[in-house]
Structure formats: structure tokens, C-alpha cells
Amino acid sequence: MLAQKIRYAALLLVAAIAFVGCSDDDNTTLPLPTEGRYGSYTIDEEQIPVNSYTVSDGDWFLVMLTPLESTASAGTYAVIGVHPELLGQEVDVEYAYCNYDYVFVVEDPTYYHAAFRALQNGSIKIDINGNAVSIKADVTIFDGKHFTYQNDNLVIE
């Protein structure tokens, strides 16, 4: 029963992320600074600044990062999450179960990594320290691209 609820919650999360990523707005891209207010994540050699983030917990502990000023209508974002039982532990994605132990999604105008695709290797670690979240992701995406992000002080609001 619990596994069914987790699968249902994961399916809803993927649907919500896909819905948020779809927009009829003009997708004119402007050059972004390489460092945002909350650092930047890197896909291969490209640095994407993080200017806004959202932390949510429930069936998953998720962090959504975006270069935009708000995560409300973000079409460019990264979502990194772990099952709450794995908070504080380094999750080796090569041996963990995609969409059960961890969630990883990246979307921007030129790149998309869906939640259903397992990562090749690397690790994800998310921990809570009082009212702040620390996150470290150093993984290889399904197509061989390298993704990194680290921040030790994302305040939970």
C-alpha cells in the first residue's frame, strides 16, 4: 500500500513538473550570468545560475532550482530529491532505485532529463541542518553529461 502511494506521488510530481515546463510564452533566451544568488549548477561545461529555489517535503524531499526569479512558472529548472528515509545519507545513484530512492529532473530550452530516466553514476546527498538544507549532487546523466550542484545553506521558508 505504501509503495503504491509512493508511486502515485511520484507520478503526480512528474506530471506537475511536465505541466509547469510547458508554456506558450515567448522562449527568447537571454544570456544569464554564470553565478546566481544561490550558486549555479553545471551541466557539462555550462553553468546555470540559481536565483530561486523551493524546498518541499512529504513522500519525497525535493529541492527545485531555477535561474528565474520565481519557481512558480519556471520553464528552466532542476529538481533533485531523495526519499525522506535517505536524508543525510549519500545516495549512490548507480545502486539506488530511480523514482524510489531519488528523483532527478532537468529542463531548459535546450535540454531535458525526465524523471523516469535513471542516472548513470555519481551521488546525491541532501541533509537538513536546523532551518537550512544542504545539497550536493555530482552525477552523470543518461546521455553522459555531467551535472553538479552544491550549496550548504538553502534556508527552508
Per-residue pLDDT averaged across 46-73, rounded? 88
With cut-offs at 50, 70 and 90, classify the pLDDT of residue 76.
confident
- Amino acid letter, residue 60: W
**End-to-end alpha carbon distance in the chain:** 31
C-alpha gyration radius of the chain: 15
Q: What is the pLDDT of residues 101-157, one digit of tens each?
A: 999 999 988 888 898 899 999 999 999 999 999 999 999 998 999 999 999 999 988
Domain tally for the chain?
A: 1
* 119 domain residue, yes or no: yes
Q: Which domain holds residue 123?
A: 2-22+33-155
In 77-102, which positions are buried (b, 16+ CB within 10 angstroms) versus exposed (e)?
A: bbbbbbbeebeebebebeebebbebb
* 28 domain residue, yes or no: no
Distance between CA 52 and CA 147 in Å, rounded? Answer: 18
